Amino acid sequence: MNIKGIQKNVLSLLIQIGKDSYPHEFLAQLLHKDGIINDVLIIPGTITSPVMAYIRDDVRPIMVNLAGTAHSHPNGILRPSFTDVLHFAKIGGQCHLIFGSPFSRDSWRAFHADGSPYTLYIVGDDDWDENG
């Protein structure tokens, strides 16, 4: 199952979580249905600081409908660090979102597990084209 899109309300929620967590990072797992990201799972035990967020191995659930991850970069840099790419592979999923300060509608990017850019459509957005 290819992850093709994200629901607009889920995107809005993630932007809000990024704002609320600032200046700390947040880390969440993204769940999907039929290739559309439709839910967010904030992991209990997620450890955050202004420079890093990670999931303790002992609390990481196994998700069959895992789409990928979302986390924030309080410094606003919208690309994955070397450590991020390692975590993408470790946590799993194919689509990984990074939300940066100032946590506006445009201050986020999607990436493949290898850190390359990922094209993700926003479902429910005016720009969304059902046939696209």
Residue ranges that bind Zn ion, judged by CB under 5 A:
84
3-state secondary structure of 15: helix
DSSP characters over 51-89: S-EE--GGG----TTEEEEEEEETT---S--HHHHHHHH
Catalytically annotated residue among 15, 25, 67, 93: 25
What DSSP character marks residue 43? Answer: P
25 included as an active-site residue: yes
CB of 130 to Zn ion, least distance (A): 32
Select 1 or 77, whichever has its Cβ closest to Zn ion.
Answer: 77
Select 15 or 84, whichever has its Cβ closest to Zn ion.
Answer: 84
Select 29 or 38, whichever has its Cβ closest to Zn ion.
Answer: 29
Query: Which residues are marked as active site?
Result: 25
